[in-house]
Amino acid sequence: MGLGPLLRRHPDARIAVVKQYLRARALALLGMDRREQLRKAGIACPGYFYGVTQTGFLDGAELEAILWDLPEGTSELMCHPGRADGALRETGTRLVAQRVRELEALTRPETRNLVTALGIQLINYRGLAKV
């Protein structure tokens, strides 16, 4: 999944997108070594991690792009779905409205249909140990 489409969809946020992309690449590099250490210690962990670059920009289109890009194996998607209630607004997070967009993206029928069509099995961490 390329950086270009995300930058084209959010030209006013290029700096934020590029920063998040660079953080994601750094985390991926650090994670490669740590993932192997976890496996040797018998601790289950996903093989791939998505969502850092898309933080604040994850919507239906970005989620579909991630789903189409998933490699064989187990992947984790970092996201922050939620409802924009008073308690959330008081936390000071910059992701108030974004949480609603993420919840909508994750729960829309098109997402469920794509997950099914691609043969993606949704699991939680309990299921991760069985993979």
pTM passes above 0.75 = yes
- pLDDT (0 to 100) of residue 76: 92
Which residue, among 77, 82, 76, 78, has the nearest Cα to 98 in the 3D structure? 82
The overall average pLDDT reported for the chain is 86
Q: Is a pLDDT exceeding 80 seen at residue 24?
A: yes
Task: State the average pLDDT over residues 6-34.
Answer: 83
The domain spans of the chain are 3-128
63 or 6, higher pLDDT: 63
- pLDDT (0 to 100) of residue 1: 54
Residue 92's CB: how many other CB atoms inside 10 A?
A: 7
Helices 109-117 and 60-69 cross at an angle (nearest 10°) of 10
